[in-house]
Structure 1
Amino acid sequence: MRLPLQENVKADICVIGAGYTGMSTALHLAENGYKVIVLEGSRIGFGASGRNGGQIVNSYSRDVDFIEKHYGKHAGAEMGEMAFEGGRIIRRFVEQYDIKCDLKPGGIFAACNKRQLSELEAKKPLWESHGHTGLELLDKEQLKSYVGSDRYVGALLDNTGGHFHPLNLVLGEAAAFESLGGTIYESSPAISVQEGAMAVVKTEFGSVTADYVVVAGNAYLNGLIPKLESRAIPCGTQVVTTEPLSEEVQKRLLPKDNCIEDCNYLLDYYRLSGDGRLIYGGGVTYGAREPDKIESLIMPNMLKTYPELKGVKIDYAWTGNFLLTLMRLPQLGRIGGNIFYAQGYSGHGVTCSHLAGKVLSDAIRGQAERFDVFAGLPQYNFPGGRLFRIPLTALGAWYYNLRDQLGV
């Protein structure tokens, strides 16, 4: 437990939020000799960074062909070049700082119908055209060597994907940052950010004056900067964890210990933990509502995937918020001259947040070319205002979920 901020301090950079975005930014900056202070409103990894499914999933929620079609060849090429960097950053951190987070290789995109399989068949050459290798298409028979379920018609194996313990990763990054002289204050929510030649971030009992501020609160800004919050909505995803399973059962479920996500709009994702549990997530609640019974949302799909787990004991269940943008692309930008932000990874936050940290740190160091690519993407407010944006988004999700169910 780190102490809260209770004085007025100075730093080169103040980072708001000790999740993946904040810690990646802070660690990259500390590696380059900057004095960095991180303010965390709760505990390190409290939000999506500590509660996500723990999967290295490359690219963005919208793939690079969508980006090129809507925002031009330059944006498509530049973002395509960056699309697979986040996973490499995670692996570097784990290796360089000896982070114990059960990191294992191999991620699978599983197709539930022929339309989804066709999309995966197109994804492979698309990614390869941007320099990404290690991809293998699997037909239904080949997939049985990886997934003990009859639910899928085929898959794309990404050997550069993988899975890990998400909270241990961010805790390890925090420890690495502190080993380089960085300071983290927990239980220190920012209550205001004042622009100026020197920015000032105030908490209840103290303040940080800094040359630059990085706002990395994502779905947990809690009114700090309203114009950022109007551009995205928090969504909840649910996860359950079984009791430890026998080695025999583990081998039947996931013979090669890869992680899986399906290709539905409201997708399922799952993997084995380091201690042999099945961690199974999915479902979305719009507006970050807390579901009364997480198990009732997740168990039907888990049993559809693995009927043999009927009656298995669920030891843990939780929900956490990620941030969805209208175009399902991350939002990076600048407020004034020295306040930077990154948010809205739209379900691809594990890798993209680590990339964002590197891009933000480079921009602060004067290398803003890659930052400008992200900042040049349009950032729209959600339609409907505070009253209607959640039901309108839920209606859109219902439509895409129906398409998944019909396979069209």
Structure 2
Amino acid sequence: MKPLRIGIVAGEASGDILGAGLIQALKQRYPQAEFEGIAGELMLAEGCHSLYPLERLSVMGLVEVLGRLPELLLVRRRLIQHFIDNPPDVFIGVDAPDFTLGMEKALKQAGIPTVHYVSPSVWAWKRKRIFKIKQSTDLMLTLFPFEAEVYQPTQQNLRFVGHPLADVIPAQMDLNAARLEFRKESGGDMVALLPGSRGSEIKYLASPFLTTARWLQQRRPELQFVLPAANQRRYDQLQKLIDAEFSDLNLRLVLQQSREVMAAADAILIASGTATLEACLLQKPMVVAYRMAELTYRIYSRMIKSRWISLPNVLADEEMVPEVLQQQVTPEVMGPLVLKALEDDSYRKRLHRVFGIIGEQLRQNASERAAEAVVELLENPSAER
């Protein structure tokens, strides 16, 4: 009997985390299963064969993607043809909907069962995408409980699985060890700076975040700042910037360890993205900021229907953390908001309570639930086709 073959494609680091957890859970059920597609370091460690580097897919923004579009389309065409020529038992697209949904549609039409892991933000913008998703995807795995309602018009086969981050945060976090690792003995509150992992995010957010740290240090000289770099390339890029313009800061630059840094922090200045969910699960006060190319922002801002951009606010269904966008990303705006996050005890207590409830809702043993749903599709692939 041939071993089970599973095609799986992730598009960035957060998808690599989800994909690795799902592969691990599926391997418990199918020890001889083979996985191939596009994988990051974590998926590779689980035995997935990557046909292309994950980093080639990790690009953000409408304008920014234009220069890479021919390459991305070529990679997708080649992957589709590869899987049509060598049909897997199931294909799983992990997030990256602009890339993976097109693959899923072509493969589903070729008779291959398809799964999409992580719903696109149809609740925020382009809600009519649910009809394309129905044509593309036999099974949708969602991370958040409110997403099922959006798909009711198409009767999408859907399973809420929870979020894997909620399964490991804070259960696997030694907060005392984190505090000892990243705090100086001199005391003083610690602020974590997380300007993002993509090159475009560093371009637009690193300098404003560091300038805000300087603004805060001028008012509270005892503050400590820690900036985790996503990888060695970002570390070198940030070190060069710090040496040139911000050597006066009481700042420690570290390689990776973003979750541990957030766990040790008293407040966080952070780019909008998956990291805000980690900060939420760690029950940390934060200021969320984002900047992008102006044309990209103008296009996005006309399409987005959600009141908020950050997951903590979306999940709480109220503004629990301040959001700072585009031209407002300045020390004069962000600095006072970080001070409030540090100093307002009543706000911090309320945030701790609300974020605790969110963590309980999302803690569902996600990778196991996702694997169970995929197994059901494998055992009855024609049920939803």
Higher relative contact order (CA 8 A, sep 6+): 1
More helix by share: 2
TM-score (structure 2 length as normaliser) = 0.30
TM-score (structure 1 length as normaliser) = 0.29
